[in-house]
Structures are given as structure tokens and as C-alpha cells.
Amino acid sequence: MTYPSRLIEEAVNEISKLPGIGKKSALRLVLHLLKEDADVTHLLCRSLTDLRTNIRYCVICHNISDGEVCNICSGTHRDHSLVCVVEDIRDVMAIENTQQYNGLYHILGGAISPVQRIGPSDLNIESLCTRIQNHNEIKEIILALSTTMEGDTTAFYITKKIKEAFPHILISSIARGVPLGGELEYADEITLGRSIVTRAPYNV
């Protein structure tokens, strides 16, 4: 595509680097900003710059935080004996939205995948071990990782590390199976097969 201005071309190139945005959408956004007041663009730029320079990560769980320690880790009403290990900050949000969990989190920042050049040292695994070491109140680690091969590998690796160093810690994993409110016939075969194999006792 040729653009009438080099400035537009540069802006389009930058915006189209964002996930889910192609050249055409980027051009639409750029032209939209030009049509609006200059303030709109300035505000957008400022908030993005602020976001990038002032954002902080919780020193304990690596969640996004306004202070040194995030709201969840400093919450007195939360159960500090439970730590849920997730790959990504979005996973924390998803679990928080269920309102069913009152423990703490630990964010790895991804899953082990040598193909993508992500090794254990690129993730917050070492800091999880230090955390268990320093916080005696931790009793259980809940693994809530993706059901991909990379997620499974990471789960196995973490389990191995923790079991060796801290045999007293209970390690659990979130259950995997048929979604609630869904009819059985619509569940995919692999999930349904796994649910049958790892069936649970029925509680009345």
C-alpha cells in the first residue's frame, strides 16, 4: 500500500505491530486520530507513556501492581497458605472473576518451550522456590497451567523441583473436563475421554 504521507506510513507501521491489528485497521485508527481533536492523541500518548514508565510488578507474585507488593499479596483477608501458579496475568484476572478462589498467585510469565527459546530461567520458577522457602505459611501449590504440551511440561518440571526441595508441600492441579451447562454430546472427544478416565467420586 502507498501512503500520501511518510508520517502516516510510520504511524501505520507502528500501530500494525500490535497483535490483532493489520495494516488496514491501523490506517483506519490513524485517520481517525487525525480527524479528532489533537488532545485525544496527546492523552493517548501520555497514558501509554505513563503506563510503560510507571508500571510495576509485585515483587512476590509478579502480578501487575501499583506498589511494591500487589493488592492480592498484601490482602489480610486472603488465604496465604495457598498459591496458584499461572502462566499469565490474564489467567489471574480469569480466576479472580470466578470469585471462588481466596488464595494467592504466582505468575510464571509463560511456559517452557525450547523451540521458542523459553527455558526455565526465563520464567519465574526460581522465585517460586525462594518464595516457598521464605514463607513457611505456604502449604499447597495449585498448578493452573494451559492444557498444552508446553503447559504440561512446565507443570511436570515445577512439580519435580518443588517435590525435591520441599517434600511437605501439597501439589495439586486444576481439574480438567466437561464445561458446566454444556451438553455432553457437544464436548470434544479428547476432553470427554479424559473426563471419563479421571472421573471423580459423586458428592451428594
Partner 1 sequence: MILQQLHMLNFKTYFDCKAVFSEHINLITGHNGAGKTNLLDAIYCLSMTKSAFANSDSNLISHGKNFFSLRADFLKNDKSNVLQYDIVDGKKNISHNKISYSKITDHIGEYPVVLITPYDTDLIRDGSEERRKFFDAIIAQTDKNYLQELIMYNKVLKQRNVLLKWIAEGNSIDNDLIDTYNHELIKKSKIISAVRSKFIEQYIPFFKSCYRHICASTEIPDIQYSSQALELNFATRFKNQTQKDIATQRTSMGIHRDDFVFNLNDKPIKQFGSQGQQKTFVLSLKLAQYEYIKHHKHLKPLLLLDDIFDKLDDERVLNLLSLIAQNTFGQVFITDARPNHNATLVNKLSGNIRIFEVTKGNIKPV
Q: Least distance (Å) from partner 1 to the CB of residue 198?
A: 14
Give the whole-angstrom CA distance, residue 189 versus residue 204.
Answer: 27
The answer to whether 156 contacts partner 1 (rule: CB under 8 A) is yes
Q: Least distance (Å) from partner 1 to the CB of residue 152?
A: 7
Instruction: Please report the sign of the dihedral spanned by the C-alpha atoms of residue 55, residue 60, residue 61, residue 62.
Output: positive
Site for partner 1 in 69-128 (CB under 8 A): 112-115, 119-121
Q: Least distance (Å) from partner 1 to the CB of residue 147?
A: 11
The answer to whether 190 contacts partner 1 (rule: CB under 8 A) is yes
For partner 1, give the closer residue by CB, 16 or 113: 113
The answer to whether 191 contacts partner 1 (rule: CB under 8 A) is no
Contacts of 21 (CB under 8 A, 6+ apart): 15, 29
Tell me which of 74, 160, 172, 176 binds partner 1, using CB under 8 A. 160
The answer to whether 135 contacts partner 1 (rule: CB under 8 A) is no
Contacts with partner 1, 26-55, as mask; x by CB under 8 A: ------------------------------
For partner 1, give the closer residue by CB, 22 or 119: 119
For partner 1, give the closer residue by CB, 88 or 152: 152
The answer to whether 185 contacts partner 1 (rule: CB under 8 A) is no
Instruction: Using alpha carbons, select from 106, 111, 128 the residue that is nearest to residue 57.
Output: 106
